Chain A
């Protein structure tokens, strides 16, 4: 009787110890979140891709996969291309870009394929263009861009077409826009953009509307904001980016979309490289500042976004070339520990 009691006490203590261990273990794997801030938005470092400093790369997103390549690492122009898996948080090296190594090109996605071209190879501005097929992992050249060869342009797409415009052609900043039709492999000039010429501008797409703004010309940050309706192909002017309430103007920034809001982040604000992030609400045509980017200040970064998630990666800060990758959660409060 006595021993069976002892055995029972023994077993109970035993169970208690194990439960204690389990609780301690789970307790360790949780972290606290007690930060307060007026601005919403949280940045989470999502993948440490050490040793790949590069800026002025091109990027496009197809579904839950981000594609990134070319660019400049401070010494060399690059032509390697990588895929980032947004869900799995890993990278794979794809087929090399089949054009020459370059930086400051443009890219857009259309119908499951990626398109990349233009840029600067260290000596000349470029006008060639290529198509990437993710299923076959093959790059093919397409009809070259018919405008003047250039760098620092913008590119975006509708359901059926790609659009490329603005940029710097070696002599002048540009304001012309061109439409690419994948079905016919042909380019067509698009008239009707009433804004100023510029280089290093930014776009983001919400539904069938593309918003374009920022950029610089003759050392002057451009403060006009435009919306392009991809159904009617008409440009309309919106409220300027520089008002009494906010100043979003900058160049070499990144633009992305999460849900029905657009974002412009990082870049060169004229007074230096910035980490500020602004959120655009298309229904009010108003900008609100969000939690600043928590990584190092940067310009010429890239972004992957598929409408629900957005990542900011790479870029440079002065002469330092950056190699990290951050995901932005616009409606969470900032947590500096993650």
Chain B
């Protein structure tokens, strides 16, 4: 019976370890890009809008939620996950360098983002 208790203890430690590990693993895979201080999530728009958007986090705090393509007139959205991520990474690089994180039309062009002029 003493042995049984030991096994129970070991079993408990394993379960606990798996749960904690799983929690951190899930946290890790939630994000699409990491820099030193910032993390990026790329998501698909719901509702009737077709397209993709990004969220930039610092620690656990949502800092920027970018549904429309930044700087453009009208409600224009990213055509693909890939395009949204490209601009998110550009913004994160600016945040890391402590410069204005605004995106210009020229930058959208040079990143081959699809948009109406």
Contacts and interface: CB of A to CB of B under 8 A. Distances in A.
Interface string B2-43: 101100100010000000000000000000000000000000
Interface in B88-117: 94-95, 97-103, 105
Nearest to A14: B12
With a 10 A CB-CB cut-off, give which of A3, A14, A52, A73 has the most chain B CB atoms: A52
A91 B63 contact: yes
Contact of B73 (A80, A88, A138): A138
Given A52-B101, A73-B100, A93-B102, A139 B73 contact: yes
A137 B67 CA distance: 11
B68 interface: yes
A219 interface: no
Q: A50, A54, A89 — which one has the most chain B CB atoms within 10 A of its CB?
A: A50
A311 B49 CA distance: 31
A228 to B, nearest CB: 34
B64 A91 contact: yes
Contacts of A137: 68, 73-75
B73 A98 contact: yes
A136 interface: yes
Given A138-B73, A139-B73, A51 B62 contact: no
A230 interface: no
A106 B95 CA distance: 28
A247 to B, nearest CB: 36
B55 to A, nearest CB: 8
B67 to A, nearest CB: 7
Contacts of A136: 74-75
Main secondary structure of the interface of A (DSSP, over half): mixed
A309 B101 CA distance: 26
Contact of B64 (A7, A53, A80, A92): A92
A50 B95 contact: yes
A92 B2 CA distance: 61
B66 A47 contact: no
A206 interface: no
Given A89-B61, A92-B66, A7 B102 contact: no
A139 B64 CA distance: 22
Nearest to B66: A92
A14 B64 CA distance: 43
Given A10-B5, A73-B100, A89 B74 contact: no
B86 interface: no
A77 to B, nearest CB: 12
A52 B66 CA distance: 16
A245 to B, nearest CB: 41
Counting chain A CB atoms within 10 Å of each CB, which of B72, B99, B100 scores highest?
Answer: B100
Contacts of B95: 50-51
**Closest 3 interchain pairs by CB?**
A93-B70, A80-B102, A3-B1
Interface of A: 3, 6-7, 10, 14, 47-54, 73, 78, 80, 82, 85, 88-96, 98, 136-139
15 contacts: A14-B12, A51-B94, A51-B99, A53-B100, A54-B100, A82-B102, A90-B64, A92-B68, A92-B70, A93-B71, A93-B101, A95-B71, A136-B74, A137-B68, A137-B74
